[in-house]
Amino acid sequence: MSPAFAVQPMSPAQGEAWLHFFDHVAFADHPRWASCYCQFPSFDHDHQDWQASTAQDNRARACQRIASGQQTGAVALADGAVIGWCHAGAWRDCRIMDGAPEPLADRLGAITCFVVAPAWRGRGVATALLAQACAQLQAQGFEAVDAWADPAAADAAALHTGPLSMFEAAGFVPLRQVDGRWLMRRPLKAG
């Protein structure tokens, strides 16, 4: 039986549905994060204060990034509505890696977060988004992909980077532990 949702690369065509998801659905059960609009991973933390960035600032930044094709990742759709999101793109564009020197930086992708609508959790959406994100990164020529996993995460909000078990099942292996979280890596086979 096929799932009642589809996954595909994020594109400007999904912009309105993506914004609706973040405006009304994504953080319905965790409003403290509603102002993020998934801008934290690409935010210039070295030169700007994230705490001073408002929901309006982040939404405007998201609109600009969507229109320019810079808001990269995968979306899950059901009946035309976004029900899930995975932020995935070039490692060098991700501002939240651990700062350790990375000789493969130009050849690495990064997966930084998952957001799944509360009604769709536990139905394979995040796993499908992960598979789509890895396929996209492979198609873009990346040799491997990094992601963070917190083995102590227990609720949906804490699992925003994805559960360790999901990454392990998808072929990711731990590289190093930083502040209790694992940096995981998966090689991507050349197409």
Rounded distance between C-alpha atoms, residue 69 and residue 18, angstroms:
13
The C-alpha angle with vertex 11 and arms to 6 and 12, in degrees rounded to 5, equals 130
Rounded distance between C-alpha atoms, residue 175 and residue 23, angstroms:
35
163-172 residue pLDDT tens: 999 999 999 9
Contacts of 12 (CB under 8 A, 6+ apart): 66, 67, 69
Q: Cβ distance 139 to 191 under 8 Å? A: yes
71-114 residue pLDDT tens: 889 999 999 999 999 999 988 777 555 566 567 778 999 999 99
According to the model, what pLDDT value does residue 97 have? 57
> For tokens 């994805």, what's the residue?
162
All domains in the chain, ordered by first residue: 6-187 (3.40.630.30)
List for the chain the helix, strand, coil content (%; round to 5). Answer: 35, 25, 40
**10-residue stretch averages of pLDDT, the chain, 191 residues long:** 83 92 87 72 64 77 85 94 94 67 79 94 96 97 93 81 94 91 89 52
Neighbours of 56 (CB within 10 A): 10
- Which ranges of 26-90 does DSSP label H, i.e. alpha helix? 55-68
